[in-house]
Amino acid sequence: MTDPDAEFWAAYDAKQALRRRDPLLTLEDGEDAIRSALKRTARPLEVGGFRPSGALEATCFGEVRLSLPGEAWPTHNGTPMFPLVQLNITQAGIQGGPLADCALITIYMSHEFQSSDHTLSRPYGEAGFAVRSYPSVDGLVPVDAPNYESPLKPFECQWLDPVDDYANNDLAGDMVDTSEISVYDFDWHQTSALTKVGGWPATIQSEPWWMYQPDAPEVDFALQIMREDKAGWYCDSLFLARGRDDPDLWAADVQMY
């Protein structure tokens, strides 16, 4: 008789080994090598605080302004979701990574989405959230929104300057020997805890669920949406990753303090 727990951990170890640097970096490799291995670029977002433009293609929180002609508004269990963000990735200027082919992303949430849900979604499926990506804003039209209930107050947003973003100890273990190294000991270390595209997830409990579930599809972290009191979004951290082989597949993980 096979041991399900043993099978799980064997599959987990195999998945970990595929993405782990071999050998892991140690202090002997030098601080510059460690810093380079942990570094990514992120573009944080500021919600409100300036005169809105009203542009249809603007980055917005609590509002979606554009969609394809005739594109259906996402629903969950028959109820319209509420718009969480519209992100103009072209204006963010992030080069490469899982969003390299995206000009605009829109994200919707269900009132029934639970922070404990480890959910996979496609743009037109009935999951607790929906992400739609567009390679260009050309051809998009003003969204035809149904009546929906939203806990959010809409605001336009602006992109802040790019920042160097570094993996925290939850995630650095794929590259450095965290039994020897705590990344928090380096004065250059930071993981931006703002709403952002790119960079690393600013985890507060563990690595995201899709990293330790051996049967989860291969996905790459793309963006995070953090608590935004001004807009009435009180979720501490929503991490979203995009399918590596299936770009229409998205994974969501929520972590709470």
Per-residue pLDDT tens for 32-88? 999 999 999 999 999 999 999 999 999 999 999 999 999 999 999 999 999 999 999
For residue 43 the two structure tokens come to 């573009």
Q: Which of 43, 68, 71, 66 is nearest to 55 (CA)?
A: 66
Helix (H, G, I), strand (E, B) or coil at 189: coil
pLDDT one-digit tens code per residue, 178-229 = 999 999 999 999 999 999 999 999 999 889 988 888 888 899 999 999 999 9
* pLDDT for residue 115: 65
Q: Which of 8, 107, 39 is nearest to 67 (CA)?
A: 107
Q: Which of 8, 7, 3, 41 is nearest to 161 (CA)?
A: 41
- Section 92-100 average pLDDT: 89
* pLDDT for residue 13: 83
Annotate 131-160 with DSSP letters as a single string: EEEES-STT-EE--------S---EEEEEP
Q: What percentage of the chain carries pLDDT values higher than 90?
A: 77
Q: Is the pLDDT of residue 116 over 70?
A: no
Q: Is the pLDDT of residue 1 over 60?
A: no
Q: Is the pLDDT of residue 2 over 70?
A: no
Q: What is the pTM of this model?
A: 0.93
For residue 215 the two structure tokens come to 């049967």
Helix (H, G, I), strand (E, B) or coil at 19: helix
Q: Is the pLDDT of residue 117 over 70?
A: no
pLDDT one-digit tens code per residue, 221-234 = 999 999 999 999 99
Q: What percentage of the chain carries pLDDT values higher than 70?
A: 98
Under the banding of pLDDT at 50, 70 and 90, the label for residue 4 is: confident
